[in-house]
Amino acid sequence: MSNFVLILIYISVGFLFKNVKLPIKNLHLKLNRFIILIALPAMILLETPKIQFSVHTLIPMYIAWITMIASALLVYFLSKKYQFTREVTGALMLVTVLTNSSFVGIPVITAHFGMESLPFIVLYDQLGTTFGLATYGTIVAAYYGNKGEVSIWIIIKKIIQFPPLIAFAVAILCSSYTYPDLLIKILELLTLLIVPFALISVGLQLEFKLATSEVKPFVISLMIKLIISPIIAIFVCHIFGWSDLLIGKVSIMESGMAAMITAGVIASMNGLAPRLSNAIVAYGIALSLITSWFLYIIIS
C-alpha cells in the first residue's frame, strides 16, 4: 500500500509544480534526461548481472515477450486502421507494450500471492520488461523519435548511442565480475531516483483533459494493456500447462500491470505525444489497481 501512496504523492507534487514558477525551466525535460542518461543505465548495470538462466525461469520470459510482441502488433495495425499520427503510434508502441512490472507489480502481486512470488516477479521484470526496454524500447524510440528522413543507418546510430542499451551491453560483459562496494552503493542510489523523478515528471506534464484526437488512442492503449494483454498471457499458460503454477500466475498478473513509467519518460523525451503518454501512465496505474483484482479472481 505504501508504494501506491508514494505514486500519488509524487504525481501530485509534479502536478502542483505545474502552475508554479520554478527556478528551473522545463523541469520535466531535465528530469527525463537525467533518468535516461544516468539513472536508468545505473539500474541496468546493477540489475542485469543478477539474471540467472534455467529452464524453469524462462516461463516469465516467454509470457512477457509473447504478450509484448502481440501487443505491439495490435497497436501497429490499429494505428494504421485509425490513421494515428507517427508521434501517437510511437507513443503507443512504448507505453502500451512495456509493463510496470516492478514498482506497481511488486506490491500488487505480493499482496495476492505473498513474498514467495517475489523471485518470479524479478524474473519477469529482468528477462521481460527491462530487457525489452533496452532493446525493443531503443528501436521504437530511434525509429519514431526521428523527425527527419528515416534510414536503417539512422536507426542503428540511435540504437548504439542509446545509454540504456550501452549500459546493458556493458552489464553483460561485466556479468562475471563483482562490482566494488562503492560503485554498488552509487548505482543503488541512482536507481532509487528513477521512480520519484519519473512520476514527478509525469505530474508536471499531466493534463486531465485530452484533445479529442487523443481519446481514441488513450482508450485503445488502456484496453490492450490492462485487458487484452493478460488474456493473451492466460491463453499462453493454458496451452503450455502453466496455469496452475505460481510462476505462471505471477506472469499473468505482471502482463496486466500498468504501463512502465520509464516508457512514458522515453516517449516524452523523444516528442512522442507527451501529454497522451503521461495520461496513459498515470491513469493506467490507478485503473490497474482495480483490474488486477479481477484478474486475480479469474486465475485463482
- State the pTM of this model: 0.79
Residue type, 43: M
Give tens-digit pLDDT for 129-152.
888 888 898 889 888 887 655 567
Print the domain residue range for 92.
Answer: 2-299
User: In total, how many domains does the chain have?
Assistant: 1
Give tens-digit pLDDT for 175-225.
888 899 999 999 999 988 887 888 888 788 777 778 888 999 999 999 999
Give tens-digit pLDDT for 60-86.
999 999 999 999 999 999 999 999 999
Q: Is the dihedral of CA 185, 186, 187, 188 positive or negative?
A: positive
Q: At what angle do helices 212-223 and 86-95 cross, to 10 degrees?
A: 30
Per the CB < 8 A criterion, the answer to whether 204 and 17 are in contact is yes
Q: Please tell me the predicted confidence (pLDDT) of residue 175.
A: 80
CATH number (domain holding residue 193) = 1.20.1530.20
In the chain, DSSP finds a helix count (H) and a strand count (E) of 18, 0
CA-nearest of 100, 76, 71 to 90 is 76
